[in-house]
Structure 1
Amino acid sequence: MKVLKLMPASLGVAMILAGFAFAAEPTSIDWTKIPTATITLFYPGQTTYEWTRSKAHGGNVKATKGVACAYCHDESDAEQEFGAKLVKGGDLEPTPVIGKNGSVDLKAQAAFDDKNAYLRFQWKTKNPYPGTEHQYLRFDGKEWKVYGYPKLDKVVQDGLQPGIYEDRLAIMIDDGKVPDFAAQGCWLTCHDGQRDSRHPFTKDEVAANPLMAAIGKSDVRKYLPVSRTDPLDWKTGKTVEELVKLKAEQQFVDLIQWRAHRSNGVGMADDGYVLEWRLSDAGKDMFASNADPKTHTPRYMWDEKKVGYKSITADQLYKADHFLIREKNALPFDSNIKWKEGDMIPDYVLSREDAMGSAADNNAIANWKDGMWTVVIIRPLGLTNADDKTLKAGRIYSVGLAVHDDNITTRGHHVSFVKTLGFGVKADIEAVKLP
């Protein structure tokens, strides 16, 4: 049994890469003594930035003026009501997912010492197993093709592919430099034109867009209004020089994502930010595509001597962890093996050793037990990277929280209204200084 020790070593924790056993929580922290905030996250449907400023939204005038969402939606059960209504379908949900829950309660705790912030989250999953599976490459007898998609994708809705996607926890953080984020949070980043949104982009629109060409992107993802010359139109865009200036002024939101497959397998959470697109921090993430860009065959397969198999089949999904980790349990793919129809190898290969730079700042410890994820994100204080928000004692930050559950991504997640995170000061989530 292979054991992967997590950093910082002072925590004395480890992750066992077998079965559904994940790392224990930091033994140096007694979480029973740390305040717990229970935050209700709700299903948002297609309530984009543009929608909040349209006549379809009763609070559009206030939203346009930068009034906080909570100013109008301060009822204790507002989130549950929104989620229950939106998840059923209608103008703001054209493709409802059968059985999707409208809301989820997220328990949040925080602590810090002289070096790190420790952000602890717990939530119940819809499924009776942890969502650690992600997309695969499946051999159909002739070729290796992607197998499994998020539940909102048409191929899943039409029954042509199974819904397979990892669970995920996301945190957006701002220190007051992004206009209106403290009032409207995540809704500044979700726009018409994005994947699964209202009026999604077309390939021709992206190809004709100077900004998309300049930043080398082929689709539309999260962005901030400040990055566009017309905040209500993704097809406009500021120059690269203007974007560089905005980034230097810290007019971006930090985005930390714990992924149950692509980062959890190596005890990390990825680090990115949102400005003109949803971008990764400088350096290298802990996950990469396992598909050869030319042949689409896998680059790596499992080391049978270490895990007992070279590939799996669909009937083995959710019965164990299936992380493919380059330095732990992987070998270069052997095309000479007589692969059988139905053989599957992960579409992503993980590596803690390859992760580097600002993109590799965050460690994470996760445990799924009795239907509940417990995730502790460990982030260094005082980061000075150009693509990070610096966390410091005595400061308050605006945060947006999201959980992706039940094989879903994009707008199919559950989100919070903006909350505050304070380090040693009063806030919605109060981080306690450790002795």
Structure 2
Amino acid sequence: MMKRALLASLTAIAMAPAVAADPATINWTKIPAATVPLFYPGQSSYEWLLSDKHPGAQGIQANLPCAGCHQGQEKKLGESLVKGGPLEPSPVKGKDATKELKVQAAYDDKNAYLRFQWKTNANKPGIEYPYYRFDGKEWKVYGEPRLNKSVQEGKQVAMYEDRLTLMIDDGKVPGFDKQGCWLTCHTGERDMPNVAAKADAQKVLKKNDVRKYLPASRTNPSDWTTVKSPDEIAKLKAEGGFVDLIQWRAHRSNPVGGVDDGYVLEYRNFDKGKNHFASNMDNEKKVPKFMYDAKKFKSKATTAKDVGKRDPFLITGVNAVPFDPAAGWKEGDMVPRYYLQPAEGSAADNKGAGTWKGGMWTVVITRPLGLANPDDKAFKDGGVYSVGFAVHDDNITTRGHHVSFVKTLGFGAKADIQAVKLK
């Protein structure tokens, strides 16, 4: 872990601009901590919330807060949903029902600093992400998340990165302060009921699948196919009718000191610019784009037996070199599915550092105040924001996370989580 922390620190220093305060020097013992309960939600989509199957449907239709009925029931809800039933057709063995997320916030004249801590299900950090494995002829995916049928049937190994997610709104998205992330979770999305066919998603969205979206982006909020026109979507975005989506990833952002900056409107979008990670597959040549630099990684590839024994990250300018098809590839050789790189533009707004010790992640995210990009929600002194939190843990993605009800985050203002002004 010392080597991993050093790699992340050196890479972050090289890639990140100077910040007003060094987050590592903040005395977090002086910053109040809020404990936010998270629970496993299963397939409780926006459509389900509004249906007769949900006893509180009338409250949702009246725009009442989820927490109005369920505050303090996170443990009960999680235990009921995680074991399987109508809202969980594919229960994951050993999955935690709940988690506690410790949240602290501070700020100065330039940045907001958010610190998070949570215990992991596994006794090791979830830093692995699926690979491309050479089978002697072709490069095929090795490893998948635990909700996938191939993993549950034992045909693939369980593998996915740990992740922390924040959704943020400044009052411009109707209902987010009441229903939070459930506004973005719909039938047709990955691992949800009636998953959209790839051909249908390509026809309607020009994407391979359906991901998070806001009801306001559809003419029929419960039908993902009814996307409003590009002009209407652009108008919603210009009016601030989107939620900011910040994601810290243990494999695809943390090693380069980054944190995803995105937003949800008609789809789960990344901010403008270049993200911290990119696909390592050349779709025309059907071979990887990069391999490990053997001089720095001690080999050009890794193998299944080495998974978990050394840092797996493939980083441009650090330990990645262009793929050489004549390098003598053998069956079982593996390279990461994604390579890491410096982010650019609005996508590079957030910085982050995460360390795992004693079964717990500690993650600090730095975000500039007063961002003026059209794809950002700007934190400001005196502002209060609706926030939702989620943690992906133990080799899982999509809906297999633990989520919170909506909380408020305030900067110099009263809120559930009050940021402390640094002197």
Matched, 1:296 2:304: no
Matched, 1:388 2:376: yes
**Is 1:118–1:376's contact at 8 Å kept on the other side of the alignment?**
yes
- Counterpart of 1:325 in structure 2 is 315
CA separation in 2, counterparts of 1:334 and 1:192? 43
- Counterpart of 1:145 in structure 2 is 140
CA separation in 1, counterparts of 2:147 and 2:12? 36
**Aligned-pair distance for 1:298?**
1.0
CA separation in 2, counterparts of 1:58 and 1:234? 24
Matched, 1:65 2:55: no
CA separation in 1, counterparts of 2:21 and 2:128? 27
Matched, 1:44 2:41: yes
Matched, 1:177 2:172: yes
**Is 2:12–2:258's contact at 8 Å kept on the other side of the alignment?**
no
In structure 2, do the counterparts of structure 1 residues 347 and 208 end up closer, same or farther at CA, with 3 Å as the change threshold?
A: closer
Aligned residue for 2:200, secondary structure, equals helix
43-52 or 332-341: bigger deviation: 332-341
Q: 1:4 aligns with which of 7, 11, 26?
A: 11
**Is 1:170–1:402's contact at 8 Å kept on the other side of the alignment?**
yes
CA separation in 2, counterparts of 1:82 and 1:341? 46
Q: 1:188 aligns with which of 183, 186, 195?
A: 183
Question: What is the 5 A alignment of 1:329-344?
Answer: 329-344=319-334
**Is 1:138–1:145's contact at 8 Å kept on the other side of the alignment?**
yes
**Is 2:199–2:208's contact at 8 Å kept on the other side of the alignment?**
no
**Is 1:303–1:310's contact at 8 Å kept on the other side of the alignment?**
yes
CA separation in 2, counterparts of 1:233 and 1:331? 45
Identity %: 60
Aligned residue for 1:184, secondary structure, equals helix
- Counterpart of 2:155 in structure 1 is 160
**Aligned-pair distance for 1:181?**
0.2
Given the two structures, how large is their TM-score scaled by the length of structure 1? 0.93
Q: 2:257 aligns with which of 267, 278, 295?
A: 267
CA separation in 2, counterparts of 1:186 and 1:174? 11
**Deviation sequence 1:225-259 (CA, Å, 0-9, x none):** 00000111112121111000000000000000000
Aligned residue for 2:51, secondary structure, equals coil
**Deviation sequence 1:41-89 (CA, Å, 0-9, x none):** 1000000000000000000011011110011112x3x111111110100
The letter of the residue matching 2:421 is K
In structure 2, do the counterparts of structure 1 residues 10 and 190 end up closer, same or farther at CA, with 3 Å as the change threshold?
A: closer
**Deviation sequence 1:153-179 (CA, Å, 0-9, x none):** 111111111111000000000000000
Matched, 1:31 2:28: yes
CA separation in 1, counterparts of 2:386 and 2:320? 40
- Counterpart of 2:235 in structure 1 is 245
**Aligned-pair distance for 1:10?**
5.3
Matched, 1:346 2:336: yes
- Counterpart of 1:109 in structure 2 is 104
- Counterpart of 1:313 in structure 2 is 303
Structure 2 unpaired stretches of 5+? none
Runs of 4+ in structure 1 deviating by more than 2 angstroms, as ranges, are 1-13, 203-209
Aligned residue for 1:328, secondary structure, equals coil
Q: Report the RMSD for the aligned CA atoms in angstroms.
A: 1.3
- Counterpart of 1:136 in structure 2 is 131
Matched, 1:221 2:211: yes
Matched, 1:397 2:404: no
**Aligned-pair distance for 1:5?**
4.3
Given the two structures, how large is their TM-score scaled by the length of structure 2? 0.96
Matched positions, count: 414
CA separation in 1, counterparts of 2:300 and 2:226? 48
CA separation in 2, counterparts of 1:129 and 1:388? 34
The letter of the residue matching 2:59 is K
CA separation in 2, counterparts of 1:125 and 1:392? 32
